[in-house]
Structure 1
Amino acid sequence: MCIVAIAWQLFDELPLVLLSNRDEFLQRPTEPLHQWSDQPIYAGRDKQSGGTWLGIHQEKKIGFFEQNGRWAAVLNFRDGVQASSDERSRGALVTEFLTGDLSPMDFARSINLQDYAGFNLIIGDTAQAVIVNNRGHAPTPLHAGLHVISNGQPEDSWFKTERLRGRLRQEVLPLIAEDSSPKYWQEAAFNVLSDNTKAPVDQLPETGMSTEIEQTLSSVYIEPVAFGNAETSKPTYGTRTQSILTLRQNRASDKQILAELISHKCNHPANPK
């Protein structure tokens, strides 16, 4: 996953609105959004490592599903440092939080940061959201507002994060304020997540990659590209999944929050539906 936008505690009925694009190699084996049979998790699944990039706690009971409001997302950190074979999967951070009972802050403080390749992790429940990474950003609660995070430091202003932030403020957040019903604003949200505008060369971040690659990765939505395979035109990398996660206040109960996670799978040539 390469970009996440979080509207946290901006709307009474929707205390969380999270939008994300997962960018990944197209051949990496992945299961679509589903209820896991072996863990109380509702998420897509990385079949290679067994974890996930975005999910909610949800447990199947007889005749219904039970939730506790826990949610989590992880992004890789792009700084030119290659992951080593002895590092744990970053997706395990998501699954361990979703299936645990530590508060978001306590969980973030308990992570052995050196066990993983570079990551940005955002975890939360109905009361608190926390961001942490293993590149010098200590566990920090999210303040009420709009947060857009990609593969650098949470406070970095990359072209793609600022473009997504601007379009959300102009095109999506006003719709939610007007009417929080999913059908009223989610089409606009997916449209914004599909923005493939690339950054001008003078607005590219410096993450140790070539200018050509930086520009390829600079849009909110990454079109399929022969990334890491310059000798062929066959696409190997791009945005694979677009997701919206919300926590919604249950109108029938002031104390109950309902989580909803939906995804669109991008139909790339190397990643057919």
Structure 2
Amino acid sequence: MCIVAIAWQLFDELPLVLLSNRDEFLQRPTAPLHQWADKPIYAGRDKQSGGTWLGIHQEPYGDFYEQNGRWAAVLNFRDGVQASNDERSRGELVAEFLSSDLSPMAFARQIDLQGYAGFNLIIGDAKQALIVNNRGHAPTPLYAGLHVLSNGQPEDSWFKTERLRSRLRQEVLPLIAEDNSLEYWRDAAFNVLSDNTPAPADKLPDTGMAVEIEQTLSSVYIKPIAFGDTEKNVPTYGTRTQSILTLNQSPSPIHAEPIFRAQLQSREYQ
């Protein structure tokens, strides 16, 4: 069901730090992080529908890769409403934004909100980031700070979002403040993303699902579980991808404006 944390404009040379867990059914065909051949995108790929849950704009140019600072992530919205067959894949939203020339706000405003099942979409570039969903949350720019969201409204305080927020503040953000090189704090970030502590019964969200399911989905990291077919007790669902995305700012030798380079790394669990 996924969770995303975004440290936005907290560090001068690292304006974006995004951490993400993608939770999905284990049998859903997925390609790991790679440069797409048909679009200017660097991301993992949902081989069933063709979109992605998290990616950056990137395209080959000779022996190098060109980037424009665009990035995006999408999460489903858990409200008990089942997706219908005529709705488009939410992963298309990420791919379309990364391939677009529209500003984040202009792109968000032209989305056909009713054409998709429930989603939270976070899109941005080096200058602006915003969140929009099709459950009543209009396109809203992110303020400088730490934002953590999962499958409810952006302002919802779920056990998993608050636990991730707390651990990031205590264990990861101080390391970035000391040394913003990814190698310095990457292990701490993946460790925090691997927190499988479940929520106490009195802190479960009410999203229209059974209490047992809410409990199963209440941790930051979801260990492989038998979801939907508990009698066979064969794992069918869990956290499949953990990702770290950053935008690094460095002076340009040619232009007055600084250069922004994106880094995206993932750990895959099949």
TM-score class, shorter-chain normalisation, is: over 0.9
The answer as to whether partners of 2:252 and 2:258 remain within 8 angstroms in 1 is: no
Instruction: State the alpha-carbon separation in 1 of the partners of residues 92 and 224 from structure 2.
Output: 27
The answer as to whether partners of 2:57 and 2:71 remain within 8 angstroms in 1 is: yes
Q: Could you tell me how far 1:107 is from its partner in structure 2?
A: 0.5
User: Mean alpha-carbon deviation: is it higher for 127-136 or for 254-263?
Assistant: 254-263
SS in 2 for 1:231: coil
Residue aligning to 1:139: 139
Structure 1 unmatched runs, 5+: none
Instruction: State the alpha-carbon separation in 2 of the partners of residues 231 and 197 from structure 1.
Output: 24
SS in 2 for 1:9: strand
Residue aligning to 2:176: 176
* Residue 185 (str. 1) matches residue 185 (str. 2): yes
SS in 2 for 1:102: coil
Which deviations, in whole Å up to 9, do the C-alpha atoms of 1:131-163 show, x marking residues without a partner?
A: 000000000000000000100000000000000
User: Superposed, which structure 2 residues align to 1:240-259 within 5 Å?
Assistant: 240-251=240-251, 253=253, 255-259=258-262
**RMSD of aligned alpha carbons:** 0.8
SS in 1 for 2:14: coil
User: Superposed, which structure 2 residues align to 1:49-198 within 5 Å?
Assistant: 49-198=49-198
Instruction: State the alpha-carbon separation in 2 of the partners of residues 115 and 37 from structure 1.
Output: 27
Q: Could you tell me how far 1:230 is from its partner in structure 2?
A: 1.4
TM-score by length of 2: 0.98
Residue aligning to 2:200: 200
Which deviations, in whole Å up to 9, do the C-alpha atoms of 1:174-225 show, x marking residues without a partner?
A: 0000110111101000000000000001000000111111000000000000
Q: What is the identity, as a one-letter code, of the residue corresponding to 1:159?
A: F
Q: What is the identity, as a one-letter code, of the residue corresponding to 1:58?
A: Q
Q: Could you tell me how far 1:250 is from its partner in structure 2?
A: 2.1
The answer as to whether partners of 2:251 and 2:258 remain within 8 angstroms in 1 is: no
Instruction: State the alpha-carbon separation in 2 of the partners of residues 13 and 232 from structure 1.
Output: 50
Which deviations, in whole Å up to 9, do the C-alpha atoms of 1:101-132 show, x marking residues without a partner?
A: 11000101110100000000000001000100
Q: Could you tell me how far 1:251 is from its partner in structure 2?
A: 4.6
The answer as to whether partners of 2:42 and 2:55 remain within 8 angstroms in 1 is: yes
Q: What is the identity, as a one-letter code, of the residue corresponding to 2:262?
A: A
Residue in structure 2 matching 1:264, options 252, 255, 267: 267
Q: What is the identity, as a one-letter code, of the residue corresponding to 2:218?
A: S
Which deviations, in whole Å up to 9, do the C-alpha atoms of 1:10-64 show, x marking residues without a partner?
A: 0011000000000000010000000000100000000000000000000011110
Structure 2 unmatched runs, 5+: none
Instruction: State the alpha-carbon separation in 2 of the partners of residues 116 and 12 from structure 1.
Output: 36
Q: Could you tell me how far 1:233 is from its partner in structure 2?
A: 1.2
Instruction: State the alpha-carbon separation in 2 of the partners of residues 63 and 225 from structure 1.
Output: 43
TM-score by length of 1: 0.97
SS in 1 for 2:75: strand
Instruction: State the alpha-carbon separation in 2 of the partners of residues 113 and 187 from structure 1.
Output: 37
Corresponding pairs, count: 267
